[in-house]
Structure 1
Amino acid sequence: MNPLRSRPALVALGATALLAATTAVPSAAATPTRSAAAPGAVALDWYDTTAETIAAAGATTQVTNSRTWAISWLAAARATRAVPPGVDRGDYQAAALASAVHDGLVALAPARTEQLDAALQQTLDAIPDGESEDKGVAAGARQAALALKSREGDGLDPASVNAPYPVPAPAPGEWQPTPPAYAPATQYGNRLAKPFALTSADQYRLPAPPSLDSRRYKTDLAEVRTYGAQDSTRRTAHQTETADFWLGSSLALYTEPLRVAVDRAPRSDAERAELVALFHVALVDTQIATSDSKYAYTRWRPVTAIRTGSIAQDPDWTPLHTTPAHPDYPSGHTTYSGAAEGVLNALAGPSTAPFELTSPTALGVTRTYTSWHELTAENVDARVYSGIHTRSADEAGVTLGRNVAGQTLRTADRLLRAL
């Protein structure tokens, strides 16, 4: 299979939306028409429509946007899973998927209603009128309504996600607001939210990070001090590019790899819907679990440790990239990578034909990958080279993400069962 040509404009749009900027995107009605008879074609159309919707009208918090994906595509997977007797299977599933995702997105991103209505009409125009289409549309609408109802008040709206967190008193190892903005902590409220597959936010809470007097901690700190400094003379140009490439939101950066998996899977619309749904369920729960471990241990960031700690204190040390406003352990980027890799390995296989990926934070750079693990490995290194995480925090994040992915896959039958 030829490498899939990436769409840097769409990825950049997603990153921009997640940074709360306004961006114009093409109308969903302009998406090229595929035949509804082609297995999986409608799923790919609505994947692109969902990505465009999030890019144009998404929330300011990543987990809220992951929730939008999860709700809409869980509804689609549930609506397409069982086909009633006497209808055409492909037509029914295509109509059900489109109806479910449409209704979920209209409810969660109402500013895009006009474009979503046009996209739905385009899908239905390609399906023969009749009982198969009618029953599919009704099933999709029903599952979307039920999925939305089941997630009311789940604590994943932006205000709840960024619930106030009282800053602890300064102490060795204790998180403090970081320069240059010294902003209040963010994402504390994730750990209070309702998961999809986890039994509780702390189900896979990580063990404590390395103690401050341990050899591992001293090695970690020395590495990030050397390779993550803004003026580092040891970090290579390729390592700086890696840090820049993976700087943006994980949701935006993983939109294209998941699309590659969906596009290349020789599957029906229903099976493709399950892949998208389980991927985003795992990613919502991973962000909940990440927040739990972060705020259970409140480990200080490298910039605080190096500027104020007892190991070769350097008050002027500055990381390559600005440190996000939440604790170090574990890295949220690598928990996301670990969960994404876990789901993709299980449902799409660990390897794929080469595909290209671009990044809105490394303009002009295109990288090629042949496995999902390569994305994870680069994320681990990137956060060290950025100067914003220790390697222990990165590696623990991968473990946590994989654990949550495993939980999601083990509970897939319950998650995908029609409500």
Structure 2
Amino acid sequence: MALLTRRGWRRGAAGIAAAALTVGISLAAPATAATAAITIDTTLEWYDVTATAVATGTRPQVTSNRAWAISWLAAARAVRTAPASPAYQDAALASAVHTALSALIPDATPSLDAALRTTLDRIPDGRAKDRGRAAGQREALSLVAERSGDGLDPASVNTPYPAPPAAPGIWQPTPPSFTAAQQAGNRFATPFLLDRADRYRLGPPPALGSARYRADLAEVRAYGAAGSTVRTPQQTDTATFWLGSSLTLYTGILRAALAQWTRSAAGRASLVAVFHVALVDTQIATSDTKYAYLRWRPVTAIRADGDPGWTPLHDTPAHPDYPSGHNTYAGAAEAVLTALAGARAREAYAITSPTQPGVTRTYTDWHRPTRENVDARVWSGIHTRTADEAGVRLGRDVAAHAVRNAARLFD
């Protein structure tokens, strides 16, 4: 899999890592003894508050990424104003995230209010605290207003998309629910840093009947079937673990990076902000390529290829095959973390999955989750390997653009 080799990616990461310095993100900086002695880490505290708030209610994944991006970009802007004052920084970060999330996720306001009281009660009263609160509120309200009408609200993301006429290679609603196409509206949304949705549009998928197309279909038919006799239990576990929301799964991965690799409050807030800005832009670009080519899903292709009873291990999501959204997400996440936090985690980290309760997976870098995502979607029977590998490439391209241009977020 040439797309997933470390050598090629590291060359690209080296080219964009310098951009991290312009947004104040330290690269693989170890924690100091003073940092380790702090009992309550306000940045991690509000990271967890954000994760809880975002989990309130049901909304499209990109809408939730947008809430992360707006709240933490506001926090990063506010915190950078007075980097020498811990009281200012903590008050600014908490107030910015609280103000933004209260506006974007009103149902979470009671818990957000309680969290803000907890943070502010432990900060000594004084001018620094007051200035921090004011700066956080100001940056949050400004950014919420700036992003109003950006097309990332649930209704705009899932604008109705009539199924196209049935034809070989063309996406159609898939069993068992035959749900109408989802996320078609993403491609019309306003990105944070991309100038247009098709900036990194992929080339077309393999031609029907080509050698690569036949190999892709044969692999999914064999390894992705509900009753596959060649898929191993370990492969089934991988498919099930990564079936859940990419945002949910990568919340744990980003938290590990945040806890391990950065030092300053401004840098840490910027890491979270740039990560989610890149992921919003990646999902916009993903929708652009998906709906430009409308490639049918494996279940449709295999049933049309003489196997009408074929069923995938997991139900197929309601949007086109090419590229895989899980893998654009994985590729972008890996790219941002590698560029801004280094290629490897300082310590091993563990994550859980909502689709495989009770199971924990442990990693030492940001690359292995990408490799597992590529395989998982094939073994689930819901994507071709080409769609997965192309997705990684698109995600990395958009993330590299975000890191190169991240300074624009703080102008």
Query: Given the two structures, how large is their TM-score scaled by the length of structure 2?
Result: 0.89
Q: 1:381 aligned to 372, 375, 399, which one?
A: 375
Q: 3-state SS of the aligned residue for 2:312? A: coil
Contact 1:83/1:92, CA 8 A, preserved across alignment: yes
Structure 2 residue 269 is matched with structure 1 residue 273: yes
2:328 corresponds in structure 1 to: 335
Q: Does the C-alpha gap of structure 1 residues 144 and 138 become closer, same or farther in structure 2, counting only changes over 3 Å?
A: same
1:292 aligns with 2:313: no
Q: CA deviation at 1:266?
A: 3.9
Partner of 1:66: 65
Deviations 1:182-218 (A, max 9, x none): 1110000000111001111111100000111211111
Partner of 2:386: 392
Q: Structure 1 residue 322 and structure 2 residue 315: aligned?
A: yes
- CA distance in 1 between counterparts of 2:399 and 2:100 reads 23
The superposition leaves residues 48-93 of structure 1 with CA deviations (integer Å, 9 ceiling, x where unpaired) of 00001111x2442111111100000010011111228xxx522111
User: What is residue 120 of structure 1 aligned with on the other side?
Assistant: 116
- Contact kept, 8 Å, 2:262 with 2:341, in 1: the verdict is no
User: 1:198 aligns to what?
Assistant: 194
Matches for 1:15-414 after TM superposition, within 5 Å: 38=38, 41-55=41-55, 57-83=56-82, 89-309=85-305, 313-352=306-345, 353-414=347-408
Aligned to 1:5: none
Q: Which has the higher contact order (CA 8 A, sep 6+)?
A: 2
The C-alpha deviation readout for 1:28-53, integer Å capped at 9, x for no partner, is xxxxxxx9994992111100000011
Q: Judge conservation of contact 1:36–1:123 (CA < 8 Å) in 2.
A: no
**Equivalent residue letter for 2:298:** P
RMSD: 1.6
Change in Cα spacing, 1:37 to 1:91, as seen in structure 2 (3 Å) is farther
Aligned positions, number: 376
Decide whether the 8 Å contact of 1:40 with 1:267 is kept in 2: no
3-state DSSP class of the match of 1:368? strand
Secondary structure of 2:133 counterpart: helix
Separation in 2 of the partners of 1:89 and 1:373? 36
Q: Is the Cα–Cα contact under 8 Å of residues 41 and 269 in structure 1 kept in the other structure?
A: no
- Name stretches of at least 5 consecutive residues in structure 1 with no aligned partner: 1-34
The C-alpha deviation readout for 1:106-147, integer Å capped at 9, x for no partner, is 101112222211211211122111111111111111100111
Partner of 2:17: none
Show CA shifts across 1:389-417 (max 9, x none).
00000000000000111111011111123
Paired residue secondary structure (1:44): helix
Code of the residue aligned with 2:59 in structure 1: it is: T
Read off the aligned partner of 2:398 and give its amino acid letter: V
Q: Is the 8 A contact 1:40 1:269 kept in 2?
A: no
CA–CA distance in structure 2, aligned partners of residues 52 and 183 of structure 1: 29
Runs of 4+ in 1 over 4 A off after TM superposition: none
The CA distance in 1 between the partners of 2:135 and 2:40, in whole Å, is 18
Q: Provide the secondary structure at the position in 1 that maps to 2:192.
A: coil
Q: Percent identity?
A: 64
2-structure distance, mates of 1:58, 1:69: 15
Aligned to 1:24: none
